[in-house]
Structure 1
Amino acid sequence: MTVYLAWTAAAPESLDGPWTEVREVAPGLLLLESTEPLSPVYHALKWSLPDDAALIVAPVDHTPKSRGMAPGTTTWLRDRTSPQHR
């Protein structure tokens, strides 16, 4: 499974897509877990948004540093990504 981080300026109309789990961790900021590569995940999100909505999607390989996210976000990420090594 791959974790993807997505940001969009608009709320998706539907969160149905090629992912097993989706979490909104802050307004417009989503974490998605999927067995699919980047392109199908990106396009499923894109098609759920208004035509002019901004969107960026990127895989998350390592556990990022964060704060102020929804409760449980850090644990969720640690369970699905590897720690960052120097």
Structure 2
Amino acid sequence: MAESGSEALYLLWIDPAEAAADGLDLHGDGHPLADGLWLVRSGLTRSRLYHRIKWQLPDGAPLLVAPLADTRAGWPKFKGMDAGALAWLRGGGD
């Protein structure tokens, strides 16, 4: 999955109440979908991204990192999310 010179697409969720006041280092390019919900492109594997995000959160904070297909046919379907998410996917980032 990533770290071979390519980037992977992930869905990241954290409890917004657990987020650091100064924000998260996403270890890649990210776009918010909703409060606490992000699309992230990263060169890290899922495990490495998970642990790097986990270390930024308080102990016991809930966290989800899930890989997504990063092709037009495999993009997630969504509506009612923060503006610009589909354009971000199509453009490969902001």
Q: Which category describes the TM-score, using the shorter chain as reference length?
A: 0.7 to 0.9
> Structure 1 residue 32 and structure 2 residue 40: aligned?
yes
Show the 5 A alignment for 1:52-67: 52-61=60-69, 62-67=74-79
1:75 maps onto 2:87 in alignment = yes
Percent same amino acid at aligned positions?
Answer: 39
Q: Normalization by structure 2: what TM-score?
A: 0.73
Return 5+ residue gaps in structure 2 as ranges. Answer: 1-6
Matched, 1:6 2:6: no
Match of 1:51 among 50, 54, 59: 59
Aligned position for 1:83: none
Question: Once the two structures are superposed, what CA deviation does each residue of 1:6-46 show, in whole Å capped at 9, x if it has no partner?
Answer: 11114432422532x12222011011111111111111111
Q: What do you get for the CA RMSD once the two structures are aligned?
A: 1.6
1:12, 1:66 → 2: CA distance?
A: 24
Say if 2:32 and 2:85, in contact at 8 Å, map to a contact too.
no
Q: Compared with structure 1, are the counterparts of its residues 63 and 79 closer, same or farther at alpha carbon in structure 2 (3 Å cutoff)?
A: farther
Count of aligned pairs between the two proteins: 79
The alpha-carbon distance between structure 1 residues 28 and 17, as it changes in their structure 2 partners (threshold 3 A), is closer
For structure 1, which runs of at least 5 residues remain unmatched after alignment? Answer: 81-86
Tell me, in whole angstroms, the C-alpha distance in 1 between the residues paired with 2:65 and 2:54.
10
TM-score by length of 1: 0.79
Q: 3-state SS of the aligned residue for 1:71?
A: coil
Amino acid paired to 1:12 = A
